[in-house]
Structure 1
């Protein structure tokens, strides 16, 4: 069994639009070929994106790096071969071809990508209640506090009443633009 300290993150180039299929294929191949001790996980970095068109707000997950998949693995000839020959994988980023091994991502690069994904997941898991006072962290009302009047957890939105110039103004916000008020 390989040393855990040899475990590093690498970037795979894939056909655009096939990132999730490559992730599934890679996990399946690692299991069926007995490579679980060498190939640990595959991640398709995504972030939530909200778009408003014709008065309709739509939230969907967009790939942060279209055409790329991150894989955590111990680099060996056998694990390289399994990953490189996974359907949909066109190659490793940082490899110079002709069978050369790729360069791994730096730990701070991995931390930045994975931390960003976790931060967004944590934001979407906020436990909010009607009437609760929250603090707005981004946008035109950043720094203000407001009271929640409506919650749309399916779309990650809340309606909040904010006191603007002595008048209550209602605004719709993403979960990602607010945090619990601390008292």
Structure 2
């Protein structure tokens, strides 16, 4: 199959998110849908709660009533997921579910993209994406955790410090 898997949002009865996720995984395993349905997630976050003067960490659902599924949408995969007990439907028009966009996936933290860099502070780099594409500069600051690099580039005869994402620059071959 040439189509790539995408993330879809499934609406469930509130409180049934984990059960729905388990049932989807069970059906995938039992009926051999591993090539169509790849991953099932219930987005949660850990929250510190203070109750009766006691501090405790609690895991809460970020989107109660919703489950995320990474799958290739076919009639079979749609039918399997749609008919799991507790599922009320896909998010989107009833005839065709709409996948999440790359920006939504990134904002939700569903898939964390890691960028490995082969440059360091003091390295000469070339900007490969964005409005300054083609400029060459020197790395002044590097913050991998924040996906940020500060580069000094020469523009209009002056050195200017610009802040870019790690993926926007690469090690200069000059």
TM-score range, shorter chain: 0.5 to 0.7
TM (norm. structure 1) is 0.58
What is the CA distance between 1:117 and its match in structure 2?
A: 8.4
User: Separation in 2 of the partners of 1:117 and 1:13?
Assistant: 23
Residue ranges of structure 2 left out of the alignment (5+ in a row): 114-174
User: Separation in 1 of the partners of 2:52 and 2:12?
Assistant: 34
What is the CA distance between 1:111 and its match in structure 2?
A: 1.9
What residue number does 1:104 align with? Answer: 99
Q: Quick check: 2:106–2:112 contact (8 Å CA) kept in 1?
A: no
Residue ranges of structure 1 left out of the alignment (5+ in a row): 119-183
Rg larger in structure:
2
User: Separation in 2 of the partners of 1:78 and 1:54?
Assistant: 50
Q: Deviations over 1:57-83 (max 9, x none)?
A: 121100000000000000001110001
Spell out the pairing of 1:54-133 with structure 2 (5 A cutoff): 54-94=52-92, 96-97=93-94, 100-114=95-109
**Other structure's SS at 1:52 match:** strand
1:23 to 21, 37, 50: 21
What is the CA distance between 1:116 and its match in structure 2?
A: 8.6
TM (norm. structure 2) is 0.61
User: Separation in 2 of the partners of 1:22 and 1:49?
Assistant: 23
Q: Deviations over 1:155-179 (max 9, x none)?
A: xxxxxxxxxxxxxxxxxxxxxxxxx
Spell out the pairing of 1:143-182 with structure 2 (5 A cutoff): none
| Count of equivalent residues | 113
Runs of 4 or more, structure 1, over 3 Å off, are 115-118
Quote the RMSD (CA, aligned, Å).
1.9
